[in-house]
Amino acid sequence: MRDHTKLRAFEQTDVRRLSSGVRPPRGFTLAEVMVAVTITVLVITGALSTFIYGLRSWQAEAVKNEINIDLEGAMERIRQDLRLSSVGIGLMAFYPAKASEYTAISFPISTVDADGLLVRDESTGKIKWTQTIIYHVLPGDPDQLRRAVFSPRYTNVTPSDLYAQLQSVVQGNTTSACLAGESVSEQVVFQNLVNLKIRPPGIMFDGYAPSYCKAQTFNWGSAVLSNGNHSLKFTIEGRNPSNTTGYKVGLDKFSLSPSASPREGEIYLPANGHPASPYYTYALSGGSLAAEDMSSNGASWSGNCQLIYAGAALSNSITLVAQNDLWCDANFDAPPGIIASNVTRKTDISFISSDPFIPDIVIAMKKGTTWTAAGCTDGTIGSVDVSNTTPAVVNIIYGGTNSNATISMNGVGVRVLFEAGTNGSLYIGNAKISRQLSGTTPVPGTTADLYFSGIPSKKIMPGAPANSDWVANYVIDRANNYLVQFDLYTGSEIFNKAQGWTNSSINLSALGGVMTKMIVGVSALEVRYPSNGMYCSGIFDTQLAAPDYRSIHWTEGPTHTDADLDVLVRSGDNSNLSDASAWMADAASLPPGRYFQYQALFSASGSHTNTAVLRDVTIDWDAPTGLVDLQVDFAKGPDYGIVSATVDGQSFVKGLEIEMEIFKRGPYGTNTATGTMEVRPLNTNK
């Protein structure tokens, strides 16, 4: 009963709802379902896209982080090795040669001891290079950055050995690249596509200074050079803000070869009379060239002068031919030579006929005053009374090893300077010169008469010394003593006052047969050029174990028919040339000794009034391909510009700028990491 009653009640209620306009509940329509599904799909798609993008970004970032870590590790490894190394001749090698940037490098490193210091050789104190490290990229699938270690480093390695070894490694022949006693181990630093570039940072020299002065030697860095001629180019890059007037470059000297042989700047100026082809030529791109005497500027220029290039504008340049390798001995001081006999090193301006008279350092035989009375005495007497005896005076001119000897040079041809007293004249006759046998006794056959304008007597007034005529072909040998004697003229009037010089320790003359400690009436002896002379150069170190010598050239001064000059050369393996070969005129015939030396042989004949003059000597030899340093002695001044330098178009390496770019293919493309660092290999381990 209850259930039926409830049903009727519900029906009545529903009827009432219908009659009142209220519809009963129902399900979703198809359109509503489609809208809902679309919205849901869009929401899910957006969320999924965000998730996938995030996942891909995370994966890409992971690859980037991985290659960045590889890059940083590789760069730090190279940096650490380089800081144990050094830039210098015979140390580093670069590949390929003559490039503006390199793709492989070889350098030495030293072992670090327990105190963190580099190991040094006990005998020399120099750093002991124990290993050779080579970094290069081996192309493949994928590329590999490789580090090869050659140990122990071959102690007699040459620049050409280093380059050949590096080239062999780059070409994939690492195992066969070992030098004597070396073994090699190689590791892959990482493997991916790799771009490795090694180049020097830009280096320039600013020549500005408020006043003209000599700059310290500027080490431009190193470059790989092969044998033969190379083009050394200095380019005007700008000028200091304080310089408003010019773009000049003052070049004193430079070196660019394994032996570090200095080349004088002024030798490149043909107007200065030195040889041009094939060694000392130049080319200009704008501007002009001159030589300049710098001796008045308060600093020491080599040879007292420099080459001055006056650039006209930015980018102007001067290119010098730099032969690899040679020794140019132009100032005869690097290394210093040995004056063997009868020659001297002197400054000569006679080769330039117009201002500014550029000085030239030369070697020539000596003539001139060979003895003075003042040089062998310690006091003077204004007037000495000379008695009328025969001979009135015999002066002893000491040579040889006597402590009072002042004869300084040999000669062929002599004249004597006579001097009266300060308060009276001297009238002499029968004057003679002889070589001393003993006391006042001459060596037979060595006596020569002294005349004055062809007359055997001479009246000499106070304050007016008088030279005798030249005694032609009379030999003065500084190893001997000589006698100069004279009588008093016995005319209607007697003059008996002579200048005197005293020495309290030795007899210097005889007056009327009585020995005295005075030089009387004779103040100097002058000689002409001797029959021969010899100059020996210093011993030069080529830095090569077995150089192949080519030729010897030299420049002489004015040619005279009665003066001659010959240059000979010898070589050896000992630094003092104790094992030297015979002297030879042909350098190409020399045995391949590391050290060499030349000698210049001078001769004079006839009247002995002329000498040959040696202005420069050049000896050249073949040089192996290797690293060489450019060192330049510049001048500075208010109108000097800023310059850069290249050789054969390549820059010099002083520090090393290393750029590395690595690539790795990920699931969503190729990822790249690039890094650059600059390292100065200074042997510091820091």
Tell me: the pLDDT tens digits for 103-139?
Answer: 899 888 887 777 667 677 666 667 788 899 999 988 8
| Token reading at 89 | 């001749």
Mean pLDDT to the nearest integer, 400-408: 85
pLDDT class of 237 with cuts at 50, 70, 90: very high
- Of 393, 419, 427, residue with least CA distance to 495: 427
Q: Where are the alpha helices (DSSP H) in 480-583?
A: none
Say yes or no to pLDDT of 3 above 60. Answer: no
pLDDT tens digits, residue range 497-507?
999 999 988 99
| Token reading at 641 | 């510009």
pLDDT tens digits, residue range 90-103?
678 888 876 767 88
> Got the DSSP string for 69-130?
HHHHHHHHHHHHHHTT-B-STTT-EEESTT-SSBSEEEEEEE-B-TTSPBPB-TTT--B-EE
Distance CA(304)–CA(312), nearest Å, equals 26
Dihedral sign computed on CA atoms, order 102, 108, 113, 118:
negative
pLDDT tens digits, residue range 633-657?
999 999 999 999 999 988 887 777 7
Tally DSSP H helices, then E strands, for the chain: 3, 46
Mean pLDDT to the nearest integer, 9-15: 47
Distance CA(624)–CA(91), nearest Å, equals 14
pLDDT class of 669 with cuts at 50, 70, 90: low
pLDDT of amino acid 18: 46
Mean pLDDT to the nearest integer, 462-470: 96
| Token reading at 70 | 């590889």
Q: How many CA atoms lie within 13 A of 2 on its CB side?
A: 0
Q: Report, at the CATH architecture level, how domain 369-527 is classified.
A: Sandwich (2.60)
pLDDT of amino acid 522: 98
Give the residue range(s) of CATH 2.60.120 domains in the chain.
369-527
Say yes or no to pLDDT of 523 above 80. Answer: yes
pLDDT class of 81 with cuts at 50, 70, 90: confident
Query: With a threshold of 0.85, does the pTM exceed it?
Result: no
pLDDT class of 203 with cuts at 50, 70, 90: confident
Say yes or no to pLDDT of 1 above 50. Answer: no
Distance CA(623)–CA(6), nearest Å, equals 124
- DSSP letter (8 states) at residue 655: S
Q: Where are the alpha helices (DSSP H) in 349-421?
A: none
Average pLDDT, the chain: 85
pLDDT of amino acid 257: 92
Distance CA(446)–CA(254), nearest Å, equals 53
pLDDT of amino acid 585: 94
Mean pLDDT to the nearest integer, 512-537: 95
Mean pLDDT to the nearest integer, 311-322: 94
Dihedral sign computed on CA atoms, order 513, 517, 520, 526:
positive
